[in-house]
Structure 1
Amino acid sequence: MDFENEVRRIARAKWPAAQFGGAAMLDGRERDGIFETEESVHFIEATVSASASKAKEDTRKLFRSIVDHNKLQGMKNAVGWFVTKAEPTAEQRKEVHEQGKGQVRAVSYSQFQQSLIDVRAYLSARKLHGFGSVQDFASGGKNPSISFVEIGLTSKALDENYLVNDILEGALEGNHFAITGQYGAGKSMTLRELFFRLEARYIRGATSKFPVYINLREHSGQRDPVELLERHARSIGFESPSSLIRAWRAGFVVLLADGFDEITSLGVQGSWKKLKDLRMRSLEGVRKLHRESIGTGIVVGGRSHYFEDDRELCNALGLHEGLVLSLDEFTETQMRSFLSRFPGVEHEGAFPQWLPTRPLLLGYLASRGLLSELGENSGMPDAVDGWDYLLDQIYEREGRIETNLDGQTLRRILERAASLARTTEDGLGPITRSELFSAFTEVCGYEPDEQGVLAIQRLPGLGIYRAEDESRCFVDAELADVCKGREVVQFLEAPFDMVKNPGWVGAMNACDRPINEVAINFVLRRLEISHDARGVIRQAVAFLNSRSDLACARGDVAVILLTGELHLDIAFIVSEVNFGARLVEFHPHMLPLSNMQFSHCLFDGVVLNPEVGSNSLPYFDSCLIEQISGRVSSDDLPRDRIMHSCDIGGFDSAATGAAIRAVRMSVGEKVLLITLRKLFVQSLSGRAESALYRGLDVDERRMVGDVLRMLKRHELAVEYSRGDGVIWLPVRKALTRVKRILSAPNESGEEVVRDCRAMG
């Protein structure tokens, strides 16, 4: 009965004038289908049997119907159809030929459906067209060379997990799904995999429904579903758009619509106040397409922060009782499986903690050979180089999607948003709609039009903070830090141009905390490339000295000077900056900073190595310093540098390298503890190998190489080779172990302590 119903459904779509035709009784015997048009009458018998006797019996019924019709209504041509589920056998075709006398056609179900639409021709044409944002990581072509890796999908509403096959079965039953995720989470790849699995089902005859995959960004401004489908057919080179419409009307398709966040409407000027209305208007054609798809399974994909909530998503997209699924990020097992598909990538070692777990971002790194020997390769990038590279790749790709904004411009908008986010508690957000609007205007030089508004909404690197006010936040702290670092470089290189941006100036006046290690290292590496770090810094300091504001920019320059050991030959006052998040250390090999003065600043910790001469230190005036290490009391301070106006919370002599040397332990143990302090206490973003030798005597220096090899063997640190030397990166998940070692090395039970002790 199900098979007969499917055949009748095709017949009604094939002959729309006979849409009320169906099963009927003739001469006391049932006919599976009679469909009469203005020009002809079609008699149908459908069977799942492969027997010749069934073909003989049904063909006789069909021929008798044709003869009777011709006697009574000879003006209309009569045709008989013998439809089988599988390909008709040779014996069946013989019986149809003999009994039907040339007036009955023997066809398979697939052939009968092909008379409505050439499904295989559509599928073939569709596979030659791009699938959303899917591309090969290495070549950039439309067909990825890396096979699909299943990622879990989660329904927050039902607290359940789904796989691709679960969605496939639901879509074949006519259910509606929305797949959401952040940038690079694998939405298009998941929809593409769903397309191929549905195609395989259709080809082997397990279903009469075939997938139609639509790139929504190719249909901006379209409001009519028929027009949308016709344009889709033409864009992929399918020769019969009208047949696709008939198949859709008949319910023979599963709609896969990719990129609801990439479609724009025409003639609507962007306004944040009208953003919800803009989304509704932009998706009018898609909404109508879905609502007119009666009984059709629908799966639509887009970025998770595009709509305020799931209710708006389903309403705007016209999904009936739609189930919203969010794409999870790769688990460690899935990451290893994914990376194993790239030639030359070893994936047995530990992953760097900054490594993104989204397929697109991870694939970019792996395809460019940056992850060739994870965990063991000395060339593994740190967070600074890793995110800088990824942002270039991400925004080059975004530039190909946007019609009027190139990738670097979009990245500059993100970087300006990072500066604005510095005024928030954690430096990640929230970033308000008006602030994003301002970032766009300052970078582009004009207010965003409708396309610009939508581009802002979907900036990669930003996620939703609060749905109700459309605010955003950065999805990764180190990504945000690289963006902040680029903004600081922009200021250092062109301070007079930078202050023309009121949003940036406002942020530098409202923020009181300087950039942290990742951003600092980014700036220092860019200054190294410029080969004029001294001149650039001097220019920035001279400019800041000419103004009374931009406290945060002063703090940025200060931490760059402290970390990069750059020469400062002009006076520089840093006022009202909170350095609380970092440990400020002064060691004997640093360049003099006597031209710098800190006034009314806050420090959580300052380390004064006993060997540092006071004439190398900056001045501290009216500052609050929670703790000074390396000095035992107020009387032990260089009062010509740390003024009596400063408020000192306490002293700690046990946290310095000198204090470690005073403890009775082997040289190997001392070097281990000093190195761990430099990597895990003073910075968690890595230290140049040369910096790990500083402050050590001759005997201690001889031990550094062996200690570093021990740290690597015991998974406490990894090395990263750059063009200008080796960087040692702390393994952050080992932070608890390291704290235990530093606080009680003998009682920690760590094998690395015993190994270093054995060195002597």
Structure 2
Amino acid sequence: MRHYTGEEFEDEVKRICRSLYSNSIGQGSEKVDGQERDGVFWNGSFFTIVEATTEKKKDKALYDAKKTHELVTKKRSEGNMAQGFLVTLHEPTADQKAAVKKYEKTTRIISFDELRSLLFDAAEYLRTRSGKPFGSVYDHASHSFEVPRSDFVEPTIVLAATSEVRSLNEITLRTQDSAKMIITAEYGIGKSMLLREMYFSLLKDFSQNKTFRFPVAINLREHLGQSDPVELLERHARNNAADPRRLVAAWSAGYVDLIIDGFDELSTRGWTGDHRKLREFKRSTHAVVKNLIRQTPQKSSVIIAGRAAYFDSDSEMREALGTPEGVFEHLIVQPFDTDQAAEFLNRKGYSDPLPQWLPTRPLFLSYLINKDLIKEAVTVSSLGSFPEGAAWSSLLTMIAGRESEQSEGVDKASILKFWGLLATKARQGNALQKSFSPTEMDEAFYAATGNTVSEDERRLLLRLPGLGISPDSVSSRTFIDIDFLNAASASLVLSHIRHPYGEETYRDDLRNVTQQLNQVGTHVICAAIEEEDISTGLLSACISKELTDGNHELAFDLFLPMIFLGQPEGYMTFEGIDIQELDICQEIWDPIKVDFSNCLISSLVLPPDGKLPEHIHFSECLIGNIEGRASERDLPTETFMNCEIGKFSSSYVVNSEILGSELPMGVKVLVVTLRKVYAQAGISRLESALLRGLDHRARMIAPDVIASLKKHGFLMESGRQGKTIFAGTRSMRKDAIAIIQSPATHKSPILDECRKLT
């Protein structure tokens, strides 16, 4: 139990009493009749006299009670109504109660918990809230919000600015000191599970009197369309059987620590029209969150969380939420590494190792376990130049085949087409939040297969792997994994590539996507084109046709595989598309001729020195972050025309500092390479990018460092000869971050090897 000084305790008691019994500012301690009084409060019709003590002694209680009794009696004799309280930090002892009993007509002895409950019954709220859903915590296999807390495995949490690792215990301890934090993560990594654990940790601290504040956990998905923070808190109170007015009073008095989950669930990510209008739309949609944070007393902690990719830059996120840098720390929840995934699976009875390509998201792993798919998933084929794409294609084919065997009316090809169309429709908006009603699923099945859905087929569709019950309706379905969604949608893109001039209706859906394929989707296409020996000329013709017809989003989905498989011919212009990351410091871009116009680019990676690719231009683009340049003065005007840029990052400056340090040359190259590969989860790098920015000496030993990284499992290789792609592995992420943070002191075999390279 935390030790409070008498002065600290008195201050807390007075703060509550001011909210309960005062009608003007400044009421509190007074000297009356030559004696110090902890609190004298007047609400316009009633005096409340208060003494506060942290002691358990009978004599102290008797002294304070007598003093309070005398002043209350005096106020009553003067014609005023008056009452007295003796407030103890702990539950009053039997001796204390006996000592005060003689003054019971004027003075009551109560615990601090009792006094606080007069402001708001926190204990009753916490009992109710603890049994309600927390964000996206949901078991999609058993269709229940009741996911046991024993499923929680603590992920790696890092400070965005420095990659410094923070433990859950450190984070919750800091909330006692009025911490302000933003927590972001990819979907399915366990962000809501983490916030739930934080809530219960804070609840425990509150119950043990380690803090005077109690946690209020808000799911923003329950507050769509609200604009006033007080109304938001009142609705939250009603949803949890609490008094709305009193919860607002407790919040205003600084007795609430806010845990706000789901800033990405207040609006959709899809848009039509100018990107700048989208930014303004997000800003106005999140005004209620911004005002809630702004009006929360400084003494309270505020933790707000959401998906990492929702905002297009750190600066946009901070502006929209009202979480300024220097006040709010930004923490990132990392995907599970091998040890964390193994611990999670062990708790569910599975102990075999996982392949490198398989996502380690708790949500997806739990789904595979509960659907009894894990053993088959880990054995699928992952051969060829693009093993991740081949593995995902094999996984979907395997699952579709198994499901078709359980239904006479739906064959494997029909399930794959249905998945592909549904996933493509999801990419037309906010993919993983897109909910499909039974009617929409029936329509998608008919569009994919040409057949009307029977009752048996409808039951099959509702239980198909990869789809879970939507949070907004038990009869609706949504995709539960972003890689599954992208792999499924890529299969439809492949159908279009094989026969680009057909009239099937699914092509209209492909041409209406607003979110690009991710790395998994791109690699699925690459793997299939390689396996089926599809001509890159056919792929190039598809791109040209879609650009000519104005279908820029679909053309870009085709353009990315072309980068890895061949070289696009002629000039291309992509207009009005959303790009998560574009890395043009890789040599593969040098001969490419492309313009990006009115595009939304979350992250643009440029070479830190030298000229940019001559034939790549950006006009009227909204760019969240540019990595590799320090300011707009470093950008050539012939390449960037009328672009709006959120911020410039300094990772290349950091790399230069590393290369100029006193570390052994091999260790320098190791750290710089790890930073390039592990700086952002899910992004692969061409081999040439790993060499960019290194001087002559560093380039000489870089191949040896890369060989060591492959040998020790830090790099996963794919791609064709001359276009080798390296991606970080989930299993080594924790070690990679540790080496980046402490290359001089961390113990690792790869560091020992690289120290010997000169």
TM-score by length of structure 1 reads 0.54
Which structure: larger Rg?
1
Which residue is equivalent to 1:370?
A: 373
Taking a change above 3 Å as real, the CA distance of residues 366 and 490 of structure 1, as seen in their structure-2 partners, is farther
Residue 173 of structure 1, CA deviation: 1.5
Residue 4 of structure 1, CA deviation: 0.7
Which residue is equivalent to 1:62?
A: 68
In structure 1, give the amino acid aligned to 2:92.
P
Once residues 98 and 57 of structure 2 are traced to their aligned partners in structure 1, the CA distance between those partners, rounded to angstroms, is 12
Alignment of 1:154-303 (within 5 A): 154-238=158-242, 240-264=243-267, 271-295=274-298, 296-303=300-307
In structure 1, give the amino acid aligned to 2:265.
E
Number of equivalent positions? 464
1:384 equivalent to 2:410? Answer: no
In structure 2, give the amino acid aligned to 1:25.
K
SS at match of 2:108: strand
Residue 350 of structure 1, CA deviation: 2.6
Residue 313 of structure 1, CA deviation: 1.7
In structure 1, give the amino acid aligned to 2:334.
D
1:313 equivalent to 2:325? Answer: no
In structure 2, give the amino acid aligned to 1:51.
K
Taking a change above 3 Å as real, the CA distance of residues 373 and 386 of structure 1, as seen in their structure-2 partners, is closer
In structure 2, give the amino acid aligned to 1:411.
A
Residue ranges of structure 1 left out of the alignment (5+ in a row)? 393-405, 418-439, 445-459, 462-474, 525-536, 538-543, 554-576, 583-714, 716-731, 734-760
SS at match of 2:38: strand
Among 98, 103, 107, which residue is 1:104 paired with? 107
In structure 2, give the amino acid aligned to 1:144.
V
Q: 1:514 touches 1:578 (CA, 8 Å); kept in 2?
A: no
Residue 158 of structure 1, CA deviation: 3.3
Alignment of 1:61-100 (within 5 A): 61-72=67-78, 74=79, 76-98=80-102, 100=103
Residue 384 of structure 1, CA deviation: 2.9
Once residues 59 and 125 of structure 2 are traced to their aligned partners in structure 1, the CA distance between those partners, rounded to angstroms, is 36
Among 502, 515, 521, which residue is 1:495 paired with? 502
Q: 1:138 touches 1:367 (CA, 8 Å); kept in 2?
A: yes
Per-residue CA deviations over 1:320-369 (Å, capped at 9, x if unaligned) read: 51111111111111111111121x32x2x331122102222222222222
SS at match of 1:184: coil
Residue 479 of structure 1, CA deviation: 6.8
Q: Which has the higher contact order (CA 8 A, sep 6+)?
A: 2
Which residue is equivalent to 1:702?
A: none
Which residue is equivalent to 1:139?
A: 142
1:52 equivalent to 2:58? Answer: yes
Residue 37 of structure 1, CA deviation: 0.9
Per-residue CA deviations over 1:447-480 (Å, capped at 9, x if unaligned) read: xxxxxxxxxxxxx99xxxxxxxxxxxxx998974
SS at match of 1:261: helix
Once residues 111 and 103 of structure 1 are traced to their aligned partners in structure 2, the CA distance between those partners, rounded to angstroms, is 18
Per-residue CA deviations over 1:354-413 (Å, capped at 9, x if unaligned) read: 2102222222222222225997899xx953354679999xxxxxxxxxxxxx99876223
In structure 1, give the amino acid aligned to 2:503.
F
In structure 2, give the amino acid aligned to 1:364.
Y
Once residues 408 and 139 of structure 1 are traced to their aligned partners in structure 2, the CA distance between those partners, rounded to angstroms, is 24
Among 419, 423, 426, which residue is 1:411 paired with? 423
- Percent identity between the two aligned chains: 31
Q: 1:93 touches 1:106 (CA, 8 Å); kept in 2?
A: yes
Residue 280 of structure 1, CA deviation: 0.7
Residue ranges of structure 2 left out of the alignment (5+ in a row)? 1-6, 382-389, 402-417, 430-443, 449-465, 468-480, 517-521, 546-560, 567-712, 714-727, 730-758
Residue 112 of structure 1, CA deviation: 0.6
Once residues 77 and 359 of structure 2 are traced to their aligned partners in structure 1, the CA distance between those partners, rounded to angstroms, is 76
In structure 2, give the amino acid aligned to 1:384.
S
Once residues 322 and 400 of structure 2 are traced to their aligned partners in structure 1, the CA distance between those partners, rounded to angstroms, is 34
Please give the root-mean-square deviation of Cα atoms over the aligned residues, in Å.
Answer: 4.5
In structure 2, give the amino acid aligned to 1:235.
N
SS at match of 1:193: helix
Per-residue CA deviations over 1:605-654 (Å, capped at 9, x if unaligned) read: xxxxxxxxxxxxxxxxxxxxxxxxxxxxxxxxxxxxxxxxxxxxxxxxxx
Taking a change above 3 Å as real, the CA distance of residues 94 and 213 of structure 1, as seen in their structure-2 partners, is same
Taking a change above 3 Å as real, the CA distance of residues 32 and 271 of structure 1, as seen in their structure-2 partners, is same
Which residue is equivalent to 1:359?
A: 362
SS at match of 2:374: coil
Once residues 130 and 75 of structure 2 are traced to their aligned partners in structure 1, the CA distance between those partners, rounded to angstroms, is 45
Which residue is equivalent to 1:685?
A: none
SS at match of 2:82: strand
Taking a change above 3 Å as real, the CA distance of residues 293 and 410 of structure 1, as seen in their structure-2 partners, is farther
Taking a change above 3 Å as real, the CA distance of residues 137 and 513 of structure 1, as seen in their structure-2 partners, is closer
Once residues 373 and 108 of structure 1 are traced to their aligned partners in structure 2, the CA distance between those partners, rounded to angstroms, is 59
Q: 1:24 touches 1:34 (CA, 8 Å); kept in 2?
A: yes
Once residues 490 and 312 of structure 1 are traced to their aligned partners in structure 2, the CA distance between those partners, rounded to angstroms, is 36
Which residue is equivalent to 2:13?
A: 7
SS at match of 1:495: coil
Which residue is equivalent to 1:630?
A: none
Which residue is equivalent to 2:609?
A: none
Alignment of 1:391-410 (within 5 A): none
Q: 1:85 touches 1:109 (CA, 8 Å); kept in 2?
A: yes
Once residues 524 and 144 of structure 2 are traced to their aligned partners in structure 1, the CA distance between those partners, rounded to angstroms, is 42
Once residues 177 and 407 of structure 1 are traced to their aligned partners in structure 2, the CA distance between those partners, rounded to angstroms, is 38
Once residues 156 and 33 of structure 2 are traced to their aligned partners in structure 1, the CA distance between those partners, rounded to angstroms, is 58
Per-residue CA deviations over 1:120-178 (Å, capped at 9, x if unaligned) read: 11112212321111112532211213521111111121331112222222222222100
Once residues 543 and 287 of structure 2 are traced to their aligned partners in structure 1, the CA distance between those partners, rounded to angstroms, is 48
Taking a change above 3 Å as real, the CA distance of residues 26 and 515 of structure 1, as seen in their structure-2 partners, is closer
Per-residue CA deviations over 1:157-200 (Å, capped at 9, x if unaligned) read: 13311122222222222221000011112111111111111111
